[in-house]
Amino acid sequence: MKIIMLGAPGAGKGTRAAVIAEHYKIPHISTGDIFRANIKEGTALGLEAKGYMDQGLLVPDELTVKILLDRVAQDDCRDGYVLDGFPRNIPQAEVLDRELDKLGDAVDYAINVDVSDEVIVDRMAGRRACLKCGATYHVKYVPPEKEGICDKCGGELVLRHDDAPETVSHRLKVYHEQTKPLIDFYEAKGVLKSVDGTGDVKNALKDIVDILG
Catalytic residue, chosen from 36, 78, 140, 160, is 160
Residue count of the chain = 213
Considering Cα of 29, then 33, then 34, then 35, what sign does the dihedral take? positive
Dist. CA 45–CA 18, nearest whole Å = 26
Give the β-pairing of 127-130 and 136-138. Answer: antiparallel
Catalytic residue, chosen from 2, 16, 123, 127, is 127
Q: Where do the H-state alpha helices sit in 42-200?
A: 44-54, 61-72, 90-102, 117-125, 165-174, 181-188
Does the annotation count 171 as an active-site position?
A: yes
Does the annotation count 160 as an active-site position?
A: yes
Catalytic residue, chosen from 2, 13, 66, 123, is 13
- Reference 117, options 174, 64, 70; nearest CA is 174
Catalytic residue, chosen from 50, 88, 180, 193, is 88
The radius of gyration computed from the CA coordinates of the chain, to the nearest angstrom, equals 18
Does the annotation count 16 as an active-site position?
A: no
Does the annotation count 128 as an active-site position?
A: no
Give the β-pairing of 127-130 and 28-30. Answer: unpaired
Does the annotation count 78 as an active-site position?
A: no
Active centre residues (catalytic): 13, 88, 127, 160, 171
